[in-house]
Amino acid sequence: MPLVMTLGAYAPAGAASLSSTSSTAAPAPSLTWSACGADVPAELRCAQLAVPVDWKDPGGKTISLTLARASATGEAAGTVLFSPGGPGAAGVQALSRSLPRFAGLRTRMNVVTWNPRGGQSGEHLPLASCATGPAFATPENRREYDQALKANAAAVAACRDAAPGLFGHMDSATQARDMDAIRAGLGEEKLSYLGNSYGGVLGASYARLFPQRVRAMALDSVPDHVSPVAESERLQYKGLEEVFKRFVRWCAGSSDCALRGTDAETAWQDVVKRAERHPLPGSAAAGERRYDGDDLKALAQGMILREAGWPAFAKAIASASKGDASGFDPQGRGVPPQPSALLAVTCADGFRYDGYRAYRTAVRRSAKVSPNFSGVRENARLTCSPWAPEAANPPAPLPARALPPLLGVGPVYEYSSVRAITDQVPGSVTVRYDGIGHGLYVNHGDPCVTEHVDRYLINGTLPAPGATCPARPA
């Protein structure tokens, strides 16, 4: 039988006393809704909400968050706050693009989103300063490590210096306080939340700060921000390896696989080893750029995590085995740098290593878990040191007894990461999607997932434990 969670009554924030929490309640400002602008669907209405740059100094400098609301098409029972993730993805643009995905939910619920502080909308941090940041680094010794850190610090400086006060207050706990101000401004006693991708870190952060203000929380394809980084990285690598096994099985039986008839895993590992010994040339557009094994792994992630990319991945491996790496990067752009504004969030959220020894330990650990992609996550995390201060919002367990049951949704490679969060809260259920898509509700509109999420967010009904959704054709 499905589990049913009783909904709390909807009431304006000041109409009933809230259960006490260890965090001060956000004020309840008034919101004035009006037309959003030419690039936003007419049915959306927008508002501005001022929040402190530093919540520890509520009377200090403020920034204005842009909110958008898609009103319920039927009698509204409440409001769902939605984050597309990123971190820093502009919620107004994401809701505008994906509005049809919310049709079922909007039969009973308003849907509200926002452009987060310092995010990709460029409202608070100039994109000219923050569009680029450190590239992936692959140091093999302490000298190379120190060189990488120096380059990272220089790459981030322009973004940090453009808005130094804000740059130091972009962690997800601070943004969770922004979310609580939005909740109060909407007149909702408790928060109903849909977090996509990195929106799960915002959700976990909110749950830790304001557990008794959570009505319902659906987390779709989210990273683990409750376990130590070593464990969350292990789960991510475990998921990558599961997808790679599916690729190998597909390759063995598909005429579209350029490696059919060979051992695809051995072929891939041989290419990576070859590139590590002697980096491979790419396309003409790449010029003198060459690709080592870590470069190939980083580029391959985007190909392996889309079934539609598997034929190109197999062809790229076959070409690289002959000395040509162009299939991994046809445009010759190299491994893309990580946006500095994004790093200001992830580094502050504790996805980082403190020192060379910790970095090398993590690399060795990943080699035992992921023979096909070890090192790629560590190379990305390395960009946080040494410019980032001590993590303001490190991973930590949830206050499980104070929270209502959560709903998780995870594709095969993220299912374990999602469950790391939801399994902490008794009665929670995580739906396993037997496919690879990331962001199954918002990005893919999977009907099975959508039905489960809508039912839960509207009336609190959870699917039965062990629920699954079948993979749809890519």
CA distance 342 to 86: 8
Residue pLDDT, tens place only, 406-418? 999 999 999 999 9
Tell me what the mean pLDDT of segment 143-159 comes to.
88
Structure tokens of 452? 């489960």
Q: What global pTM score does this model have?
A: 0.91
Query: For residue 20, is pLDDT > 70?
Result: no
- 147 and 181 in a single domain? The answer is no
Predicted pLDDT of residue 28:
61
Residues 6+ apart with CB under 8 A from 392: 171, 173, 174, 348, 349
Question: For residues 149 and 34, which has the higher predicted lDDT (pLDDT)?
Answer: 34
Q: What backbone phi and psi angles, to 5 degrees, belong to 83?
A: -120, 130
Distances (CA, A) of 449 to 70, 87, 466: 21, 23, 14
Does residue 24 form part of some domain?
A: no
Does residue 272 form part of some domain?
A: yes
Q: Is 423 helix (H, G, I), strand (E, B) or coil?
A: coil
Share of the chain above pLDDT 90, in %: 75
- 374 and 407 in a single domain? The answer is no
Range of the domain at 143: 129-162+338-354+370-384
Predicted pLDDT of residue 388:
66
CA distance 355 to 142: 10
Which segment of 81-85, 192-196, 361-365 scores lowest on mean pLDDT? Answer: 361-365
- 434 and 404 in a single domain? The answer is yes
**What is the CATH number for 51?**
3.40.50.1820
Tokens 């409202």, residue located? 123
CA distance 101 to 196: 13
Predicted pLDDT of residue 291:
95
CA distance 206 to 383: 26
- 112 and 220 in a single domain? The answer is yes
Residues 6+ apart with CB under 8 A from 62: 50, 51, 52, 53
- 152 and 72 in a single domain? The answer is no
- 200 and 179 in a single domain? The answer is yes
Does residue 29 form part of some domain?
A: no
- 348 and 426 in a single domain? The answer is no
Tell me what the mean pLDDT of segment 394-407 comes to.
97
Does residue 17 form part of some domain?
A: no
Structure tokens of 173? 């706990």
Pair type for strands 44-52 and 62-70 = antiparallel
- 322 and 247 in a single domain? The answer is yes
Q: Is 230 helix (H, G, I), strand (E, B) or coil?
A: helix
Does residue 205 form part of some domain?
A: yes
Residue pLDDT, tens place only, 62-72? 999 999 999 99
Does residue 142 form part of some domain?
A: yes
Residue pLDDT, tens place only, 437-468? 999 999 999 999 999 999 999 999 999 999 99
Number of domains making up the chain: 3
CA distance 279 to 272: 9
Query: For residue 300, is pLDDT > 80?
Result: yes
CA distance 452 to 464: 10
Residue pLDDT, tens place only, 95-123? 999 999 999 999 999 999 999 999 888 88
Does residue 148 form part of some domain?
A: yes
Predicted pLDDT of residue 138:
81
- 254 and 316 in a single domain? The answer is yes
- 419 and 317 in a single domain? The answer is no
- 64 and 138 in a single domain? The answer is no
- 179 and 293 in a single domain? The answer is no
CA distance 348 to 394: 7
Does residue 6 form part of some domain?
A: no
Alpha-helical segments (H) within 142-219: 142-162, 164-167, 172-185, 199-209
Residue 12: cis peptide before it, omega within 30 degrees of 0: no
Structure tokens of 181? 């101000």
